[in-house]
Amino acid sequence: MSEKIIIIGGGPGGYIAAIRAAALGGAVTLIEKENLGGTCLNWGCIPSKIMKNSADLFLKCLKAGSLGISIEGKITPDMGVLMARKEKILSSQRKGIASLLQSKGITIETGFGTIKSEGLVELTRGDGEKIDLAFDKLIIAVGTKPMNVPDFPFDHEKILSSNDILVLDKIPSSMTIVGGGVIGCEFAFIFSALGCDVTIVEAMSRLLPLPSVDETCSKLLLREMKKHKIKVICDTIVTKADTTGEGVGISLAVSPFTDNPKPKKLKNDRLESDIMAVCIGRTPLSEGLGLENINVTTQGPGWITANKQMETSVENVYAIGDILGPDKIMLAHVASHEGLVAAQNAMKPKTAPKSTMGYDVVPGAIFTMPEIGTVGLSEKQALSNGFEVETASVNFRVLGKAQAIDEIAGEAKMIIEKKTKKVLGVHLIGPHATDLIAEATLAMEKGLTSDEIAHTIHAHPTLAEIMGEVASKASGMPLHG
């Protein structure tokens, strides 16, 4: 008989795991309580990129005259049309995933899955009906939700989560974004481009205060935000939000969390804004899963502990995706790969070698304006790991293609091991950086050196030439850079 595989969660980790397990001969049931595609499709990656595409187009229209295109009449964004387009795309994508799963013989159950006991999941459907589903192997892929802060909880009208931002029916005149991480910075550029007065409040000393993002990217991003008239207040926290007036009265204080040893005193300790968007983290959706019924080990607020084979503390139970928490890498493409590993291990005989998840070479894609693509170590990480390093940086403005498309802001930075010239990390900020990082990812996966990349022919005129330029400079043979 086929192995009975139950997967709880139909996001990019869960549905990919389902496809792989089915391909390997499993009898797969996928449980999803809302919409297929998870946070990425419904409340994250895809809807925000749909909005960014419109914001990019709007900015291009505004400067069309300088590019030799005359546009007559007033150009204005239409949030109603934008939201309708977003919903049409999301609906199409959900149907596509459902059709794909069904074509693989996967059973899709809509409802809430709770682990009842060893080998048994209870499914609660929307109408309250409960049924028991038996499993041989279980993969948990339930993900996360936006973190609610007790000092200024979401009211979904003036104090918004990242989910709320994606369903706004009009562009606010002003918005304060709490958190200068990936989500906060992406939304800042989108809404600034659409005509909103945006302020970011960040507790740390820089934007994108992530170890995997090189500080040079943060510095250049701050410069670009100033060009877009986005106000940035670092080393600062929000202590309170008053919603009794027309907008939000926001109280500020010097951050106790900052890594800046000498943060500046605040010029003003209060902001007024139409709305406040809280983008400071996510929390696990483990409540009600019944993890305690089979003694699955968790940590913190409910993050599930799993090894690199995606095995939890309980035999035949696996966990993947954002539910693993910040100890792993919380990205959609990481969840998908974890899903492949979990499914392969779930379907293998106990005596077979296990598949293992690797976290050393994972590309990061940040859709700011300009975009950011990263892979491998930052310079600071490389030094702290004991490497003797050399770095090279080249501006995108040296590329003919960047000049031709009028997107010259940006920089490529490569970190190499001094003795071997092996690439340790690449950090791009510039046009289409999220696409260009793929070459660096493959290079690092294969252990290539800067010399080997420099001796690879890159087509001209393309933005991909930036990798050849920065690799040549890292190898001591600079070209235009």
Catalytic positions, please?
Answer: 460
Neighbouring C-alpha atoms within 13 Å toward the C-beta of 82: 25
Mapped onto helix, strand or coil, the DSSP state of residue 301 is coil
Question: What CA–CA distance (Å, rounded) separates 258 from 264?
Answer: 11
Q: Calculate ∠ Cα 481-464-444, nearest 5°.
A: 95
- φ/ψ region of 298 (left if φ > 0, alpha if ψ in -120 to 50, else beta) reads beta
What is the enclosing helix (H) or strand (E) of 21?
A: helix 14-23
Question: What CA–CA distance (Å, rounded) separates 342 from 311?
Answer: 7
Q: Are the C-beta atoms of 318 and 310 separated by less than 8 Å?
A: yes
Determine how β-strand 112-117 pairs with β-strand 120-124.
antiparallel
Do you know the residue count of the chain? 481
Cα dihedral 463, 218, 163, 375 in deg (nearest 10): 50
Q: Are the C-beta atoms of 323 and 140 separated by less than 8 Å?
A: yes
What is the enclosing helix (H) or strand (E) of 383?
A: helix 379-384
Neighbouring C-alpha atoms within 13 Å toward the C-beta of 270: 6
Distances (CA, A) of 280 to 200, 219, 344: 11, 20, 34
